[in-house]
Chain A
Amino acid sequence: MQEISQELVADFMNEAFELVQKMENSLLVLENNPTDKAAVAEIFRAAHTIKGGAGTIGFTEIKEFTHKVEDLLDRVRKSEIAVTPDLVSLLLRCKDVIEGMLDARQNGDVYVGELAEDIMKELGEYLGKQPPDPTASSQEGKTSNQSEGKASLSYLTAYERSVILEFLHQNFPVYELWYVFNENYEMKDVSAFQIYALVGDFAQIIRMEPSLEIVEKEFRPDFRLVVMTDKDEDFIRQKTFMKDLVTSLQIRRIRNNDIENLETQIMKGQSLETAPSVTEMEKSSLPQPSENPSSKKTTLSSDAQESVRMSTTLRVESTRIDELMNLVGELVINKSLLHEISQMMVKSHSNIRLFFKSFLSGIALLPLDENIETNRELNYHLREDFHQLETSLEQYQEILQRFNQISSALQENVTGLRMVPIQQVFSRFPRLVRDQAQKLGKQITLEIEGVETEIDKGMVDDLFDPLIHILRNSIDHGIEKPEERAAKGKSPQGKILLRAYHEGENVYIEVSDDGLGIDIDRVKQKAIEKGLISSATAENLSAKEALALIFLPGFSTAQEVTELSGRGVGMDVVKKKIEQLGGSVSLSTARDKGTKIQIKLPLTLAIIQGLHVLISGFSYILPIVSIDETMIVQPEDLVDIEGDPHINVRGEFVPVFSLRRFFYHESESFRSSFYCILAKQGEKHYGLVVDEIVGEQDVVIKPFNNRLIKSPGISAGTIIGNGNIGYIVDLNGVIQSYKDIVGQKGENHGNSQ
């Protein structure tokens, strides 16, 4: 192992982030139920795994810190330390530090924080020991492999140590075998390999020191193997002590305390030894902790730590892969069936052809009586062949049907691979709600439903921010303080319900609270003050329309929201984000009953439902989500308003503009009837004129390389059935451009839009 592969690091990171999340969840469970042994075990396991992994890839500071936490947890596990709210808070802060360390490593830094040291001290107090010298972690000793009788095992990595401990816990014997080779043996170069192979026959080799790679390059006078085997020492000696090759063999059984002593030594920094490769890596490629104060992270409040993590790996349940394998298996079977049928058909076809050939060429030459007989026979064969052909065709159609089923199932399955439970998003919220509520002196319980609902992996990161916005609005402005609630006759404890569920082709996420609700009159007033609407317009707004004002950009900023008994912190941002994911947001509220925000999302990001239209001979796809209706407009229905054509749709004057003009700068005269597609942006409709409507279809989004190509009004491409390219229209962009053009329009305005 000469260098730690990026893949290994990425795997560790993915797993570690999941584990800290698990830690947090279990800690919150523990807080509510201090006697929950399973939660303690879960937290301990998480810490233990992170420690082992961090050691393996040389993230020393994580290993050291987590080890400390693990010690404390071990004492809790053994009921030597009681679970108190203080302890849970301390462990939560520990989890924050571990997460901070992971974040730092992910950004190529090493976490430096006084917080970690403070917590180390606290941990030390709990454990009744002196905390280790924090500088110890950066002192790496060098592995020596001196040929001395007593082996130190110091070459073992943390991961290997944890493997050994695991074996010992399960009562499997682990040995260290130390072979010294005969240097006069003519084949001494392969001695190590021979021994390795012999031992491998009856034991599981945990570590070879020096490694096979090193032994391949040069002869080493001795080597050590750490192995797990159920065979005894005599057996090992008898099997592997080859007198020609080996001059001495020492066998030592490894016990629990050997490893534990080793760990303590490492903790004390006396001879902190890891695998040489890690040591080298630490020196060469890993950034060293700097004492630069600017890189110090001292606080790790939850709001500062809501960083979105991009993860490109997908963990897929093996059952899903199994299903895929089954489908592929069926495909293969189908393939061979098709092949058979094809051969049958070819045979029948050539028989029939031969018959006709002989019939046409030979009929005149045959005497009549024979002719009847021969013809009868030939007729019989011909009928047989036709029958055969018919059967083949029937089978062929059956197989084709099966093929269709398989390909649909395959599509569904492969799409399913990208789906992850929404738990990945939701799991981070309990802590957020807990901390925020405590900060504001409110009592809030968060109920979560439907964590198993699956969403596209690509949405996980993008959903995080909008949901945090919404939740914080509920906590900050929705739920009242306990005394206020009591005065209203409500339970002092407010409730926020976070719920996800599938319905049809969509995923819904709802956040509802039983707080104040939104004061619609105040919303109107605010909008008038902000100059978003006139007071005359406000008079005529329905409650629903008034609520929609909240989503307008510039409706509110943080400092003003506090006077508003509702929300609005960046709701326009929330809406924009959700719309980028192809979804929509709606809101309902009742005074003193609470507020409910519903997010509707498509199942997958990779496929959208679109309306296939033709513009100047090219295929364009308009996302169905943004379309209200399609209509055919007669030229006489057009109304000219300020030089721009409009149509009257149920009392609303909708501007009409041509996509052919937008994309290809061709003039549009609107002399004959035309197709118009009504799209909505905000509260207003726009009519987009296209040449032809082909129909609705699901299209697979093929993103463009934005570094190289950007086309205003086109968000991505897709492949239409015949292999041609179609363009997916960015309706918001098109409408915005139209608005800009209309806004700038001067005297050079043409006779038509």
Chain B
Amino acid sequence: MEIRNKRVSAEETTVLQKVLMQCISFSLGEQLYALSMDAVESILFARKIFLLPNTHDKLLGVYNLRGNIIPVYSLRRLLSLSDPYQGSRIVDEDDRYVIVVKYQRNTFGLMVDTIYKHLEVLENEFQGGDHIARWSEHAVVSGVILKQEQEILFIDMDRLFLYISSLQEKK
């Protein structure tokens, strides 16, 4: 996997401490996940997400984002985890969050449980490799960030989008 936006911060003194990327981290249940900040447009409360009939079940519904209608996916369902909103016709919750992502001019939302924090990931904190792919059913996780005793699963945007697009084909 190619990590985009590699940059070295000016204050770095040792090779070990190079900043690899900026991420946003969030949780699904007890597990922490991270997404590259590059793709994140904004974060919203999961208000007024309307079920769209006759679509695949990973799609939570559609959301009115400043006059444009965008699809919102349940990240829980995308990762084959249980989702309390399965079958809901309208999701209207103050304690769930939607991360709005823009990838190749496609804007969509991902519903997560809670937003954890912004992460600055150093090179030596990231472990990539395809063996990680076995951890997640759809290989959207492409690495692990080890930070302060925590294992944060890194979600790869390229793979995630590929997976989301393929759902559409199957439908």
Q: Is the CB of B54 within 8 A of A719?
A: no
The answer to the question of A705 belonging to the interface, with a C-beta cut-off of 8 Å to chain B, is yes
Given contacts A704-B69, A708-B164, A719-B67, contact A618 B106 (CB under 8 A): no
Q: Residues 18-43 of chain B: 1 if any A CB is under 8 Å from the residue's CB, otherwise 0?
A: 00000000000000000000000000
The answer to the question of A9 belonging to the interface, with a C-beta cut-off of 8 Å to chain B, is no
The answer to the question of A713 belonging to the interface, with a C-beta cut-off of 8 Å to chain B, is yes
Contact with A725, one of B62, B108, B165, B168 (Cβ below 8 angstroms): B62
The answer to the question of A723 belonging to the interface, with a C-beta cut-off of 8 Å to chain B, is yes
A709: chain B residues at CB < 8 Å are: 52, 55, 59, 62, 71, 168
Q: Is the CB of B69 within 8 A of A717?
A: yes
Q: Residues 689-721 of chain A: 1 if any B CB is under 8 Å from the residue's CB, otherwise 0?
A: 000000000000010110111111110010100
B54: chain A residues at CB < 8 Å are: 663, 711-714
The answer to the question of A284 belonging to the interface, with a C-beta cut-off of 8 Å to chain B, is no
The answer to the question of B4 belonging to the interface, with a C-beta cut-off of 8 Å to chain A, is no
B107: chain A residues at CB < 8 Å are: 705
Q: Is the CB of A711 within 8 A of B55?
A: yes
Q: Is the CB of B71 within 8 A of A710?
A: no
Q: Is the CB of A708 within 8 A of B165?
A: yes
Residues A562-620 near B (CB distance < 8 A): 616-618
The answer to the question of B84 belonging to the interface, with a C-beta cut-off of 8 Å to chain A, is no
CA distance A663 to B54 in the complex (A): 6
The answer to the question of B48 belonging to the interface, with a C-beta cut-off of 8 Å to chain A, is yes
Closest chain B residue to A717, Cβ basis: B69
The answer to the question of B89 belonging to the interface, with a C-beta cut-off of 8 Å to chain A, is yes
Q: Is the CB of A702 within 8 A of B67?
A: yes
B89: chain A residues at CB < 8 Å are: 616-618
Given contacts A723-B48, A725-B64, contact A710 B69 (CB under 8 A): no
The answer to the question of A508 belonging to the interface, with a C-beta cut-off of 8 Å to chain B, is no
Closest chain B residue to A726, Cβ basis: B50
Q: A13 → chain B, closest Cβ, in Å?
A: 21
Q: Is the CB of A710 within 8 A of B168?
A: yes
CA distance A559 to B137 in the complex (A): 55
Given contacts A705-B106, A707-B106, contact A724 B62 (CB under 8 A): no
Q: B2 → chain A, closest Cβ, in Å?
A: 23
Closest chain B residue to A720, Cβ basis: B64
Q: B11 → chain A, closest Cβ, in Å?
A: 29
Given contacts A709-B55, A709-B168, contact A725 B106 (CB under 8 A): no
Q: Is the CB of B168 within 8 A of A714?
A: no
CA distance A702 to B107 in the complex (A): 14
The answer to the question of B171 belonging to the interface, with a C-beta cut-off of 8 Å to chain A, is yes
Q: Is the CB of B53 within 8 A of A711?
A: yes
The answer to the question of A686 belonging to the interface, with a C-beta cut-off of 8 Å to chain B, is no
CA distance A272 to B107 in the complex (A): 48
CA distance A712 to B168 in the complex (A): 12
Q: Is the CB of B71 within 8 A of A711?
A: no
Q: Is the CB of B69 within 8 A of A725?
A: yes
The answer to the question of B9 belonging to the interface, with a C-beta cut-off of 8 Å to chain A, is no
Given contacts A705-B106, A709-B59, A710-B55, contact A725 B50 (CB under 8 A): yes
CA distance A711 to B107 in the complex (A): 18
B64: chain A residues at CB < 8 Å are: 719, 723-725
The answer to the question of B70 belonging to the interface, with a C-beta cut-off of 8 Å to chain A, is yes
Closest chain B residue to A737, Cβ basis: B54
Residues A69-120 near B (CB distance < 8 A): none
With most chain B CB atoms within 10 A of its CB, the pick from A618, A664, A707, A712 is: A707
A179: chain B residues at CB < 8 Å are: none
The answer to the question of A65 belonging to the interface, with a C-beta cut-off of 8 Å to chain B, is no
CA distance A127 to B146 in the complex (A): 77
B70: chain A residues at CB < 8 Å are: 705
CA distance A721 to B108 in the complex (A): 23
CA distance A330 to B84 in the complex (A): 51
Contact with B50, one of A664, A712, A724 (Cβ below 8 angstroms): A724
Q: B147 → chain A, closest Cβ, in Å?
A: 32
Q: A735 → chain B, closest Cβ, in Å?
A: 15
Q: A226 → chain B, closest Cβ, in Å?
A: 42
Q: B139 → chain A, closest Cβ, in Å?
A: 19
Closest chain B residue to A663, Cβ basis: B53
B53: chain A residues at CB < 8 Å are: 663-664, 711, 713-714, 727
CA distance A724 to B92 in the complex (A): 12
Q: B99 → chain A, closest Cβ, in Å?
A: 15
Q: A129 → chain B, closest Cβ, in Å?
A: 51
Q: Is the CB of A717 within 8 A of B55?
A: no
CA distance A724 to B106 in the complex (A): 22
A707: chain B residues at CB < 8 Å are: 106, 165, 168
B63: chain A residues at CB < 8 Å are: 725
Given contacts A709-B62, A725-B64, contact A702 B69 (CB under 8 A): yes
Q: A618 → chain B, closest Cβ, in Å?
A: 7
Q: B128 → chain A, closest Cβ, in Å?
A: 27
CA distance A664 to B69 in the complex (A): 21
Binding site for B on A (CB under 8 A): 616-618, 663-664, 702, 704-705, 707-714, 717, 719, 723-725, 727
Other contacts beyond A704-B71, A723-B64: 7, CB < 8 A: A617-B89, A663-B54, A705-B108, A709-B62, A711-B52, A711-B55, A724-B50
13 A–B pairs (Cβ distance < 8 Å), ordered by A: A616-B89, A617-B89, A705-B71, A705-B107, A707-B168, A708-B106, A708-B164, A709-B59, A711-B54, A712-B54, A723-B64, A725-B62, A725-B64
For the complex of A and B, list the 6 residue pairs with the smallest distance between their C-beta atoms, beginning with the closest: A663-B53, A717-B69, A709-B71, A702-B69, A725-B50, A712-B54
